[in-house]
Amino acid sequence: MSKIVLVTAASTGLGAMTALALASAGHTVYAGFGPARDVLPGELTAVGDQVLSQDAHLHPLALDTADQRSVSAAIGEVTRCSGRIDAVVHALGPVPRGPVESFTPYQLGQIYDAHVLSSQRVNRAVLPAMRERRDGQLIWVVPSLHRGDATPYLALHSEAVTVIGHLAASYARELAGFGVEVSTVTYGSLTAGIGRHPSLIHPDDDETFAAYDVRHPGLVDSVDTALAHQAADEADIARTAEAIVGVVNSPKVSGGRRVFIGTPRE
């Protein structure tokens, strides 16, 4: 059965490939592209270009998930054009890298917004209609924390992933009685959700960051090396996209499902 699917982060490598894979599977896909600041260097290449020039199954959509007006306008446009939204695919925001102390409170708010509030804005816009129809899907793509949870300077990333996991689990329990399935697709790479070129959030407090760097020389480089080692290649991204298609295509499971792809890398 063909579905109306919203992919909220089509400006990333995984988002673009997921949109293409869903369209190829016969679904009508709205590929959300945020403001230019959200486009990751090197990611919007040939695959992203295809999203912008694909056939009638695929529709680029202006969507800034950090802006409630943009979210409301985008959901309204999809509903006017297609009558409903059957599934939403969420992805995580950029990776915060640095000692927790060196991030300002304002930055913590931005990080929380990018990972949690953005998806909440979209959910609140689509769920009333899904609950009324007693049908729908929410899908989050999250990286595994098996290797990332103990990595210095990536604590905020781990926290964001943990919060998303709890949020998805809560939604799955609470929406089960409304016929809305909530799923998470988890891959072994820390950066599966954002592709080969992770967009990093650097701390604004340079003085504090420098103090940590003096105390632990070389740690920043080792973290960057770990991120590069964990980065998803094109085959990883394609497998993740196909797993998302599989979730959209499969009969719904009461209480939601968790899909694991591959194994965490050492």
What tens digit of pLDDT does each residue of 51-101 get? 555 566 899 999 999 999 999 999 999 999 999 999 999 987 788 888 999
pTM, 2 dp: 0.85
d(CA 241, CA 27): 14
Distances (CA, A) of 13 to 92, 143, 192: 13, 15, 10
Residue 148 has pLDDT above 80, yes or no: no
Helix (H) or strand (E) holding 4: strand 4-7
Determine which of 108-117, 159-168, 211-220 has the lowest per-residue pLDDT on average.
211-220
- pLDDT of residue 116 exceeding 90: yes
> Tell me: the pLDDT tens digits for 10-36?
887 788 889 999 999 999 999 998 764
Distance, first Cα to last Cα, the chain: 39
| pLDDT confidence of residue 261 | 82
- pLDDT at residue 134 greater than cutoff 50: yes
Predicted pLDDT of residue 186: 87
Once rounded to an integer, what is the mean pLDDT over residues 179-204? 73
